[in-house]
Chain A
Amino acid sequence: MAGPTRDHSAGGQPDLPRHTRTNLLRFITCGSVDDGKSTLIGRLLYDCKLLFEDQLASLETDSRRFGTTGAGQLDLALLVDGLAAEREQGITIDVAYRFFATGRRRFIVADTPGHEQYTRNMVTGASTAQAAVLLVDARKGLLTQTRRHSHIVSLLGVRHVVLAVNKMDAIGWDRAVFERITAAYRAFARELGLEHVTCIPLSALTGDNVTSASPAMAWYDGPSLLQYLETVEIAFPARSSAFRMPVQWVNRPHQDFRGFAGTVASGCVQVGDPVAVLPGGRTTRIEQIVTMDGVLEVANAGDAVTLVLSDDLDVSRGDVIASADDRPEVCDQFLAHVVWMGEQPLLPGRPYLLRLGTASVGAQVTELKYAVNVSTQERVAAKCLARNEVGVCNLATDQPIALEPYRTNQAMGSFILIDRMSNATVGCGMIEFALRRASNVHRQKMTVNKAARAAASGQKPCVLWFTGLSGAGKSTIADLVEQELHRRGCRTMSLDGDNVRNGLNKDLGFTDVDRVENVRRVAEVARLMVEAGLIVLVSLISPFRSERLMARSLVEEDEFLEIFVDAPLAICEARDPKGLYRKTRAGLIPNFTGIGSPYEPPEHPDLVLASGTEEPERLTSHVIQALASRGIIP
Chain B
Amino acid sequence: MREVAAQFRNPVLLYSIGKDSSVMLHLALKAFYPSKPPFSLLHVDSTWKFQDMIAFRDRRAGELGLNLIVQVNEEGVRQGIGPFTHGSAVHTDIMKTQSLKQAIDRYGFDAALGGARRDEEKSRAKERIFSFRSPNHRWDPKNQRPELWNLYNGRVSQGESVRVFPLSNWTELDIWQYIDQENIPVVPLYFARPRPVVERDGALIMVDDERMPLRPGELPEMRWVRFRTLGCYPLTGAVESRAETVPEIIQEMRLARTSERQGRVIDHDAGSSMEIKKQEGYF
Chain A positions near chain B (C-beta within 8 angstroms): 1-2, 4-5, 14-20, 52-55, 58, 61-62, 65, 80, 82-85, 87, 93-99, 101, 108, 120-121, 123-124, 127-128, 248-249, 251-253, 257, 259, 261-262, 290-293, 304, 306, 317, 341, 353, 355-356, 358, 410-411, 414-416, 418, 423-425, 428
Pick the residue among B32, B152, B170 that contacts A251 (CB under 8 A). B32
Known: A249-B2, A290-B34. A54 touches B262 (CB 8 A): yes
**B59 in the interface (beta carbon within 8 A):** no
Q: Is B181 a contact partner of A19 (Cβ separation < 8 A)? A: yes
22 A/B residue pairs, CB under 8 Å, sorted by A: A5-B178, A17-B178, A65-B271, A82-B275, A83-B126, A97-B168, A101-B171, A127-B148, A248-B6, A251-B34, A253-B34, A304-B30, A304-B31, A353-B155, A414-B149, A416-B148, A416-B151, A423-B155, A425-B145, A425-B153, A428-B146, A428-B148
Q: Of B36, B123, B149, B276, which contacts A410 at CB under 8 A?
A: B149
Query: How far, in whole Å, are A83 and B171 apart by their CA atoms in the complex?
Result: 20
Given the known interface contacts A16-B174, A96-B126, A292-B29, the answer about A54 and B150 at a Cβ–Cβ threshold of 8 Å is no
* Given contacts A52-B258, A52-B262, A54-B259, A127 and B149 within 8 Å (CB-CB): yes
Give the distance in Å from the alpha carbon of A253 to the alpha carbon of B32 in the complex: 9
Q: State the Cβ distance, A379 to closest chain B Cβ, in Å.
A: 24
Shortest CB distance A248–B (Å): 4
Name, among B23, B119, B149, the residue most crowded by chain A CB atoms within 10 Å (CB to CB): B149
- Asked if B141 and A423 make an inter-chain contact with CB atoms under 8 angstroms apart, the answer reads no
Which chain A residue shows the least CB distance to B165? Answer: A1
**What's the minimum C-beta distance from A487 to chain B, rounded to whole angstroms?**
42
B153, A15: Cβ atoms closer than 8 Å: no
- B166 at the A/B interface (Cβ < 8 Å)? yes
Interface pair A416/B33, CB less than 8 Å apart: no
Pairwise interchain contact A306-B146, C-beta atoms closer than 8 A: no
B33 CB contact (under 8 Å) in A53, A123, A291: A291
Interface residues of B in 29-88 (CB under 8 A from A): 29-36
B residues less than 8 Å from A355 (CB atoms): 151, 153
The reply to whether the CB of B3 lies closer than 8 angstroms to some CB of chain A is yes
A609 CA to B152 CA, complexed, in Å: 40
User: Chain A nearest CB: distance from B94 CB in Å?
Assistant: 24
Assess whether B2 is in contact with A2, with CB atoms less than 8 Å apart.
yes
The answer to whether A52 and B257 have CB atoms under 8 Å apart is yes
- Interface size range of chain B in the complex: 35 or more
Count A/B pairs, Cβ under 8 Å.
179
A52-B147 contact given A96-B126, A252-B35, CB 8 Å threshold: no
Please tell me which one of the listed residues A1, A96, A251 contacts residue B35 in the complex, with CB atoms under 8 A apart. A251
Tell me the smallest distance from the CB of A453 to a CB of chain B, in Å.
37
CA distance A145 to B98 in the complex (A): 45
Q: Which residues of B contact A15 (CB under 8 A)?
A: 129, 150, 166, 168-169
At the interface, is chain A mostly helix, strand, loop or mixed?
mixed
Give A248's nearest chain B residue, CB to CB. Answer: B2
Query: Is B177 engaged at the interface, CB distance under 8 Å to the other chain?
Result: yes
**What is the distance, in angstroms, from B131's C-beta to the closest C-beta of chain A?**
12
Residue from A1, A123, A306, A356 whose CB has the most chain B CB atoms within 10 Å: A1
Q: A52-B258, A248-B6 are in contact. Are A94 and B34 (CB under 8 A)?
A: no
Spell out B's residues near A (CB within 8 Å): 1-6, 23, 27-36, 118-119, 122-123, 125-126, 129, 141-142, 144-153, 155-157, 166, 168-171, 173-174, 177-178, 181-182, 256-259, 262, 271-272, 275-276
Which chain A residues border B259 with CB–CB below 8 Å?
52, 54-55
A293: chain B residues within 8 A (beta carbon) = 30
Q: Are B27 and A97 in contact (CB under 8 A)?
A: no
Could you say which of B1, B157, B181, B272 contacts A18, with CB atoms under 8 Å apart? B181
CB contacts (< 8 Å) of A1 on chain B: these are 1-4, 129, 150, 152, 166
**Contact assessment for A108 and B169 in the assembled complex, using a CB-CB cutoff below 8 Å:** yes
Closest to A92 in B: B126
Identify the closest chain A residue to B260 (Cβ).
A52
Contact A4 B258 (CB under 8 A): no
Contact (Cβ within 8 A) A120 B5: no
Known: A94-B141, A252-B35. A14 touches B150 (CB 8 A): yes
| Nearest CB in chain B to that of A253: its residue | B35
Q: Give the chain B neighbours of A65 by CB distance below 8 A.
A: 271
CB contacts (< 8 Å) of A424 on chain B: these are 145, 153
16 further interface pairs, Cβ-Cβ under 8 Å (given A18-B181, A253-B34): A2-B1, A4-B30, A15-B150, A54-B258, A61-B271, A97-B118, A124-B148, A127-B148, A249-B32, A251-B34, A358-B6, A414-B149, A418-B155, A424-B153, A425-B145, A425-B147
Q: Which of B33, B152, B168 contacts A292 (CB 8 A)?
A: B33
Complex: chain B residue closest to A82, CB-CB:
B122
B181 partner residues in chain A, CB cutoff 8 A: 5, 17-19
A411, B33: Cβ atoms closer than 8 Å: no
Q: How close is B101's CB to chain A, nearest CB, in angstroms?
A: 21
Residues of A within 8 A of B118 (CB): 97, 99
- Provide the residues of chain A in CB contact with B148, threshold 8 Å: 123-124, 127-128, 414, 416, 425, 428
Q: Which residues of A contact B151 (CB under 8 A)?
A: 355-356, 414-416, 428
Complex CA gap A359/B272 in Å reads 39
